[in-house]
Structure 1
Amino acid sequence: MREGHPRSGPDVFTFGETMVALRGSGPLKLGGTMNVSIAGAESNVAIGLSRLGHRVHWAGAVGDDEAGQLVLRTLRAEGVDVSAASTDPDAPTGLILFEPRLPEVTRVHYYRAGSAGSRLQASALERAFSAAPPRILHLTGITPALSPAALAAVRRALQLARQHESLVCLDVNYRSRLWTAEEASPVLREWIPFVDALIASDDELPLCLPADAIAGPEPEHDPSAAIAAQATRLLELGVGEVVVKLGADGATAFSGDSSLHRPVQPVRAVDAVGAGDAFVAGYLSALLDGADLAGRLARAVTTGAFAVASPGDWEGAPTRGELGMLGAPPGTVVR
């Protein structure tokens, strides 16, 4: 994959909706206490990268309310530049509720219709790029599903990234509660020629491929061969690198004529929410550091493991100095 050009702007620029997050200890209908935090795929990645020592800018819109202040205050406290963020006086900050129902099953309830975050305007991104073009633009498939305005903003960001020769990373992050596969596929396929690094789970790859390119080995007969065939087709369509997240089976990256698999780091799982975002942060961090494919995957599964081993969307993201802790023997006390 080509290198991002050295520049005075941020290492990574990303944008999207960040909401206030309330986490209950059990069924919501029973009441009880809730922990207050923030959550958003793009801001999770931004925090993860900032903790690893990278310069990150985040843009988004929050309401002119206390919830919006919490979002901005938290990101600032984590070292993320929010100078490109905006406050919308006519719409509220979105809300997300997490309801743990089983040890490994959490229900999520969104209250984001008509939120400030869904009203993000392309003009905010234009100002950010004109002030300081980033080395990498990071996008997800969540933002374009929020509203026509948000979709237009993502399209404009892709144009700006090409104009300024910024690398583009797309984490598909398909959410069926926001849009259908039939709605998402044309949009994602339109973006493929702009993408340098595509990160997706195995079931998201077909969303990015033309219908006539999906045919290949049947996944139920040979899952690995089906994934490889789809990743190869995406490389042929111009993507520089395809990284496939496989959950408990680790991840596989495809680049040029080579592929590399990396198993997960074994940890005691506490909360899988945010693991994919932590994985992306680790991958981009190693890419910014000039690591090879093996090094990028190694850091990605490491940061993903930190997320799984900690409650919350982003709270468990490691600092650079903590990356080696997973290799320590059980019972180790770090002084």
Structure 2
Amino acid sequence: MQQSQPTLKATCFGEILWDLFPGKDKTAGGAPFNVGYHLQQMGINVHMISAVGQDDLGDALLQKLNHWTISAAGIQKNANYATSTVVATIDEDNEAHYEIKESVAWDYIQLRETDLQQVQHSSTFVFGSLAARHSVSRNTLFALLEESRYRVFDVNLRPPFIDQELLIALLKKSHLAKFNAPELQLVLSYLGKNYNKPKDGVFFLQDYFDVPQVILSQGASGATYYEGDTVYSLPAAKVTVQDTVGSGDSFLAGFLSAHLSGMHPEATLEQAICLSGFVTSQSGATPNYTQHDIEQMKTKYRAQV
């Protein structure tokens, strides 16, 4: 029997910030923040672990979480470091690029007993590599990983904050890892490997790191989910692209909300693609929508494929 949604809990760890796009109002962002929003929209109870400064920007992020009915109990307020801001630009291909400031509040996330307990009682723990760029947050992350039952690594690389040893250490801790094609090739290159077929590269990483599940997102080419040695692939949704900001985050949330509910892997991948497609057709990473909107998107998608 499918598990009921209200009992499902997810903890998201990492950066929360304000994206500053030229000529636009600031928008709340950060990959774990975006994933948390979409998980909440899809019926998962979300606990967010991060940090903001004791400033107006930090207060505004907490208000945003409250508006989304996401618990802010795991958001620490740091008197010594400011709330994070990121200068973002969109290129001619609608791809986002980010200039991420250092020494901000989420670089200094402290380990707290209440967060350890939240992780222990969560169905999944979602994390990335960016928030581990500083030793304080990195040490907190690895401590939390030890208490989590289902560890989901959103690789989500952000130059220049790419640490080969850190990536390898995090992959060794993961039950599910999500890559895009360039990220997959980069990690393989660190290990001295190069494969003509992405499938062979994924199988190598699964074996090398003992990662049972891998998602490979390929933008307009669709996505593939590897569960052990079983492979599921689906094409992308055909939509009019507004921008791609947060598309990968919504994809992961769509996948996890279905996977944690016990849906079949192909249906899980379909939900990920449809949620990501819907978000890509809207402006911004966290547009307002309901689960009914995504069900309608699935109907349109099935007519396409």
The equivalent residue for 1:283 is 255
1:96 aligns with 2:86: yes
Confirm or deny: 8 A CA contact 1:250 1:261 kept in the other structure: yes
* 2:115 equivalent in structure 1: 128
**Where does residue 250 of structure 1 map in the other structure?**
222
Q: CA deviation at 1:283?
A: 0.6
Alignment check: 8 A CA contact 1:61 1:119 kept: yes
1:70-219 mapped onto 2 (5 Å cutoff)? 70-100=60-90, 102=92, 104-110=94-100, 112-121=101-110, 123-124=111-112, 126-131=113-118, 133-145=121-133, 147-161=134-148, 166-179=149-162, 184-208=163-187, 211=190, 214-217=192-195, 219=196
Deviations, residues 71-94 of structure 1 (Å, cap 9, x unaligned): 111012112111111101111101
1:254 touches 1:260 (CA, 8 Å); kept in 2?
yes
- Secondary structure (helix, strand or coil) at the match of 2:233 reads strand
Is the Cα–Cα contact under 8 Å of residues 96 and 244 in structure 2 kept in the other structure?
Answer: no
1:298 aligned partner: 270
Structure of larger gyration radius: 1
**Is the CA contact (8 Å cut-off) linking 2:252 and 2:272 kept in structure 1?**
yes
Q: Secondary structure at the match of 1:228?
A: helix
Tell me by how many angstroms 1:23 deviates.
2.8
Once residues 299 and 185 of structure 2 are traced to their aligned partners in structure 1, the CA distance between those partners, rounded to angstroms, is 39
Deviations along 1:122-160, one digit per CA (max 9) or x if unpaired, are: x13x42122562110001121112x11121122112112
Q: CA deviation at 1:105?
A: 4.8
| More displaced stretch, 257-266 vs 99-108 | 99-108
SS at the partner of 1:194? coil
Structure 2 distance, partners of 1:55, 1:153, is: 22
Q: How many residues are aligned here?
A: 296
One-letter code aligned to 2:17: M
C-alpha deviation, 1:174, in angstroms: 0.9
Q: Is residue 65–residue 71 contact of structure 2 (8 Å, CA) maintained in 1?
A: yes
Return the offset for 1:266: 0.6
Residue 25 of structure 2: SS of its match in structure 1?
strand
Q: Give the conservation status (yes or no) of the 8 Å contact 2:11–2:126.
A: yes
Letter in 2 for 1:266: K
Q: Which whole-Å CA distance do the structure 2 matches of 1:94 and 1:266 have between them?
A: 34
Residue 264 (structure 1) shift: 0.7
Offset, 1:191: 2.5
Q: TM-score, normalised by structure 2?
A: 0.89
Read off the aligned partner of 1:174 and give its amino acid letter.
Answer: L
Identity within the alignment, %: 21
Give the CA deviation at 1:36: 2.5
Give the counterpart letter for 1:285 in structure 2.
Answer: S
Deviations 1:182-203 (A, max 9, x none): xx22212123332111110122
How far off is 1:216 after superposition?
Answer: 4.8
Q: What displacement does 1:207 show?
A: 4.6
Question: C-alpha distance in 1, partners of 2:298/2:210?
Answer: 37
Give the CA RMSD over aligned residues: 2.4
Question: Partner of 1:29 in structure 2?
Answer: none
User: CA distance change for structure 1 residues 108 and 186 in 2, over 3 Å: closer, same or farther?
Assistant: closer
Match of 1:19 in 2: 17
What is the CA deviation profile of residues 268-318 of structure 1, one whole-angstrom value per residue up to 9, with x for unaligned ones? 0001010000000001000111012101110110111112111112225x4
Match of 1:30 in 2: none
> In 2, are the aligned partners of 1:189 and 1:207 still within 8 Å (CA)?
no
Quote the Cα distance in structure 2 between the aligned partners of 1:10 and 1:84: 18
**Amino acid corresponding to residue 53 of structure 2 in structure 1:** G
Q: In the superposition, relative to structure 1, how do residues 302 and 177 fare at CA in structure 2: closer, same or farther (>3 Å)?
A: same
Counterparts of 1:216 and 1:178, CA distance in 2 = 23
TM-score where L is the length of structure 1: 0.81
Q: CA deviation at 1:209?
A: 5.1
1:41-52 alignment, distance < 5 Å: 41-52=31-42
